[in-house]
Each structure stands twice: as C-alpha cells, then as structure tokens.
Amino acid sequence: MEVLERLDIKAFVRMPIFVDRKLWGIINLYQSNTRLWKEDDLEFLQRMVLQISSVIQQKQYLDELQTQAQQEEAIANIVQRINGSLNVKDLFRSATQEIRNLLEVDRAVVYHFNADWTGEVLAESAGAEWVSVMEIQETDPTLFSKEMNAHEQCTLKNMQAGSALDQDTYFINTQGGDYTRGKKFHVVNDIYNAGFSSCYLRSLEKYQAKAYMIVPIFQNNQLWGLFAVYQNSGTRKWKSSELNLMLKIAPPLGIAIEQAELIEKIQSNNNQLKERSQRESSIVQSHLV
C-alpha cells in the first residue's frame, strides 16, 4: 500500500502472461483516480495478453530455429573435419574443443575402453577454472581405492577418468554396462536429484560435475568408448536438440577411429615389410661378398 500511495495509484488491474503454459510475466494497468474496471476493459486486456503471448512464443520459436540451424551447420563442419582427420589424437582434441564451444559446457571428454574394459580419458577440453580429469586419473591415489570401487554406482572414473590400474570396476564386471545392450545416451540434469548413492556423488563432486550427457562411441558395432559433456558451474536442463547434436557426432567419431586405426595398421605392415626387405637384401649382399 505504501508503494501504491507513493506512486499515487488509486486503482489497478493485473493479468499474468503465460508462454507454453509457463508464467512469463505480468501486465499491469494503473489509474491515478479510483476506477471501477468494466468487463470490456478486462476483455480488452485479456486479448492484449493473448497477443503478447503469441508474439513472444513466435519469437522464441524463430530464435530456436535459428539456433538449431547454426548448430546443424557447426555439426556439419565438425563432422567434415572428423572425416578428414587421420590422426586420432588431433581428432579427439578437435571434437572435444568444438563440442565444448558449441554447447557452451564446462568440460568435454572422450573415454576409451580397453579389451578388458579398463580404460582412460584420451582427450579432454575444459575451462581453465576447472580441474583436469586427465591429470587426476594419473595422480589421485584415492581414485583406485577400495571404497570407491565398492559400489557399482561409483562409476564416474569409468566414464571419464579410468585407468589401466583399475581392475575391479563396474564396466569390467558388466563388460561395458548398458551401452553394450543398446543404451543410446545418459542424461542427468541435476546430480543431486538423480537418485545417486553418496559414494557416486562424492566421485562427481571430485570432478566438479553438476550435470552431464554421455553417448557411446561404437566401432564395428562394438562399444569403443564414451563421448561426454559436463556442466560444472551449476545444474542444467539439457535440451533435446543438444542431445541430438551429441548423437550425431558419435557415429562419425567411430568411423574416423576405424579409418585412422586401419591406416596406422597399414603403415605398420608397410614398415615391417620394408624392414624385412632391407634385412633380406643385407643377407643377399653379404653372401655375394
């Protein structure tokens, strides 16, 4: 009342503005004199609110379409660079950096499984203000403690910070977990409201994660690793368009890995043949002498 008196307001009417069934704002009409608002006044205000809501919704829709178009273009460029890369390390470095910038996340990692389902992070892109998972996986002795391995939900290290030293882990015991059984992604908007055990939460807190998305990387229909992005600064409600971008990048990564490994194998075979030829040539020359 004091505010109304100070502004010399004697009468007012207020009506909420909803966009997609969510409260977007409130429109207020004020009168410096007393006023009995008529039904026509309220109907006019209601029509105005509906028009404002419609305009806002259209603007948001157009903005979303523009954002999706920009993201699709960026994804196309990323995939093109992935397909043109023959160096696996450069490939991962580029993919993690690009997706971190594109989705504006705090961390992006590529995690690789070994044949025995141990593994490690091969590439990481993170802001300077966050700890390095790649460094932690090599230097943190508690990472491999019995306490952290005692519960199958303590699997953050297996998703983003594994090591060949880890032998008693969830992924080893389950041979890749749900991802080998067709799971296409894992999305967590808020780690504290996801039903995680206190053990797993301690792992997530160690790496400063508050929310994350993980998609599998397959090579020849076999689970090769995981591609993950993390939000550390706070919780995040991931959009379906953001998940779709991750799902579009993972398959080209698998193909590029296969191509790079095939080329590496061919080069290794060529080098072996060359060395063998040189040895045989040396033997022949020694006999001729």
- pLDDT tens digits, one per residue of 253-262: 888 888 777 7
- pLDDT tens digits, one per residue of 55-68: 888 888 887 777 77
The predicted pLDDT at position 92 comes to 87
Q: DSSP label at 183?
A: -
- pLDDT tens digits, one per residue of 83-107: 666 677 888 888 899 899 989 999 9
Pairing outcome for strands 211-219 and 222-231: antiparallel
CATH superfamily, domain at 2-62: GAF domain (3.30.450.40)
Comparing C-alpha atoms, which of 194, 197, 209 is closest to residue 148?
197
Spell out the long-range contacts of 90-93 with Cβ–Cβ below 8 A and sequence spacing 24 or more. 91/253, 91/256, 91/257, 91/260, 92/122, 92/123, 93/123, 93/125
Return residue ranges of the chain for CATH 3.30.450.40: 2-62, 87-268
Q: Is the pLDDT of residue 214 over 90?
A: yes
- pLDDT tens digits, one per residue of 16-51: 998 888 899 988 888 888 888 888 888 888 998 999
Q: Considering only CA atoms, give the Rg of the chain.
A: 29
> Cα–Cα–Cα angle for 82, 87, 91, nearest 5°?
35
Positive or negative: CA dihedral 254, 255, 256, 258: positive
Class of domain 87-268: alpha beta
